[in-house]
Amino acid sequence: MSTTFAFAPRDLEKEMEAIYDAGLSDIESVVMRFAHGECHSLSCALHLTYQCPVIALIDVASGHPVHSFALLPNGLGFDAYGVHEPASIADRYHGLAGFNDMDELKAVLWTTADLSAKEWLYEVDTPEDILAEFSVLLEYIGLDLQAAYGQSWDRDARIQNALLQCNDKLLTLSRQQQNCCKS
């Protein structure tokens, strides 16, 4: 018998001022580190530890990853800003990356082989070190990854749905920018 993993979206970007005001500098620094610079190391550590799928947002022209996040069993994405619909993550990082009408992002599934080939991962910390530091954020939002990934779930369907959501959102954003630039 499997249990149902229920965890609603929670966007820590909207809570950052309150986190700062409460003096929760450890959470603030974890969010800043793993949302802006080391998201791929976090995604890889989560993948290696929990065998969770990792979705990467790739700049099509350069092939470079802009952001990556783990997929939870309920189909939501998980990164340093919390738990979100995959399309919301695509929207956030499309905007943060400063993409214009000439740039295009695409969401792809990173496999274990893809992640293993990323020699720039873990230049400083091991996956265990990363997750130990990240545990303060997991505790803050009340997310038990061991329980989440310890249940059965339709992994392939969730992955395909997340990729579809992200790529649909990225296509919509690209079209909006192209229409804006034509005016």
Q: 53-65 pLDDT, tens per residue?
A: 999 999 888 888 8
Asked if residue 3 belongs to a domain, the reply is no
Asked, for residue 172, whether it belongs to a domain, the answer is yes
Residues 6+ apart with CB under 8 A from 163: 55, 86, 107, 108, 109
Mean local confidence (pLDDT), 142-148: 88
How far apart are the C-alpha atoms of 61 and 166, rounded to whole Å? 18
Beta bridge partners of 128: none
What spatial distance separates the first Cα and last Cα of the chain, rounded to whole Å?
A: 57
Residue 105 lies in a domain: yes
Q: What pLDDT does residue 65 have?
A: 87
Q: Residue 80: which domain range?
A: 10-182
- On whether the CB atoms of residues 153 and 10 are closer than 8 A, the answer is no
Q: Is a pLDDT exceeding 90 seen at residue 21?
A: yes
Q: For the chain, what is the domain count?
A: 1
Domain assignment present for 120: yes
Give the model confidence (pLDDT) of 36-52 as tens digits.
888 988 998 999 889 89
**Measured distance CA(99)–CA(92) in Å, rounded:** 11
pTM score: 0.85
Give helix 39-50 / helix 127-141 axis angle, nearest 10°.
90
Residue 4 counted as domain residue: no
- Collapse the DSSP code of 69 into the 3-class scheme (helix H, G, I; strand E, B; otherwise coil) and give the result: strand
8-18 residue pLDDT tens: 788 998 999 99
Tokens of 169: 């959102």
